[in-house]
Amino acid sequence: MDEFAIGVDLGGTNLRIAAVDGSGEILDCVDTLTQVSQGREATVARLTDAVRFICHKFSGTHKLLGVGVGLPGIIDLEAGTLHSAANLPGWNDYPAREDLEAKLGVTVILENDANCAALGEKWLGAGRDVNDLCMITLGTGVGGGFVVNGKPWHGVLGMAGELGHMTVIPEGAPCGCGNHGCLEQYASAGAIHRLASEAADSGRSPCLAQARLTDPELSARSVHTCASTGDAAAIEIFHAVGKALGIALANLINAFNLPRYIIGGGVAKAWDQFSPSMFHELHERSIVFRAGEQAKRSHRSTEVTPALLQDRAGLLGAARLPMIMCGTKCRNSMVS
């Protein structure tokens, strides 16, 4: 009997549940909304209903390994508790593992959403051929995840991968975390919106001012379009994105010398605009990156590359969790 696992990607907006087989093929997927306003219990009920629905569909032909759940925010992995998540108000201190295991009767493995994305890319994406990687996700904020020896790296407090709050400009823009000059203040969609609004307000960029008429949020996509048509202010914004990313990556590469650093998230679609500045900083600032370039023929270089799985990385990584973490200890008798 073939095996499969269920992956759950629970975000502040979207809730997705998929059955995935050992080769990474998505057998079935439920794509719905989290609808935080309806309260936690309603979301959890929709989640467990979808898991049961999918399970029953495959119970005759496949053996369930377990359920992996990717969550935003700070998770106490030992206790199986969601400590807090900015995008899930009312979910603080939710004993997710215990609650979901009681409701489903199968093994549930929690994981930080950024680590899920990193694990997804390791399994089926831009990190397929390596065992150790770092993934930086450029979304509304900047998230980070590490895979070490093929598994998510959590750190002593489960808080490894807070790459959005690495200091890149010590006296730079203030950040909500209390620091100044965090990577997130330069390389996130939020930062791009802030910098683009400033440019539009100042009159420096007719293109961005025009774009704001149809896209009041000035998304990274709109700024990218302006940059692609040669708007100097928009180009400068992606230059700042690349410079900040390059400083952070140079530090990460000098420290850990992993074989692969993967850039994902919506902003990564502007790769053509920010990557030249990023690589310029990397070359200047990382002796380890340069040494890797020289050693390229021996396949021991450090590569910085765009993500491949787009928004399915987290879902696939969540489904991968039971496959690599469970062993024979998983419970797989579904509670109907």
Binding stretches for a copy of itself (CB under 8 A): 74, 130, 132, 144, 146, 148-149, 153-163, 165-170, 177-179, 247-248, 250-252, 254-259, 284-288, 290-292, 295, 300-302
Nearer to a copy of itself, 169 or 326 (CB): 169
What 3-state class would DSSP assign to 107?
A: coil
What 3-state class would DSSP assign to 5?
A: strand
Nearer to a copy of itself, 172 or 306 (CB): 172
Q: How far is the CB of 263 from a copy of itself (least distance, A)?
A: 15
**Phi and psi, residue 251, nearest 5°:** -65, -40
Nearer to a copy of itself, 140 or 301 (CB): 301
Alpha helices in 29-141 (DSSP H): 40-58, 96-104, 113-124
- Measured CA to CA in angstroms, residue 187 lies from 7, 150, 183, 191, 226 at distances of 29, 27, 6, 6, 17
Angle between helices 220-228 and 232-256 (to 10 degrees): 110
Number of residues that make up the chain = 336
Nearer to a copy of itself, 44 or 147 (CB): 147
In 3D space, the residue among 45, 40, 48, 51 whose CA is nearest the CA of residue 12 turns out to be: 40
Which amino acid appears at position 245 of this protein? L
Nearer to a copy of itself, 206 or 276 (CB): 276
Nearer to a copy of itself, 60 or 170 (CB): 170
d(CA 318, CA 298): 33
The neighbour count for residue 112, using CB atoms within 10 Å, is 25
Any idea of the CA torsion for 149, 96, 10, 49, to the nearest 10 degrees?
120
Q: How far is the CB of 264 from a copy of itself (least distance, A)?
A: 17
Q: How far is the CB of 102 from a copy of itself (least distance, A)?
A: 25
Q: How far is the CB of 68 from a copy of itself (least distance, A)?
A: 21
Q: How far is the CB of 76 from a copy of itself (least distance, A)?
A: 9
Q: How far is the CB of 85 from a copy of itself (least distance, A)?
A: 14
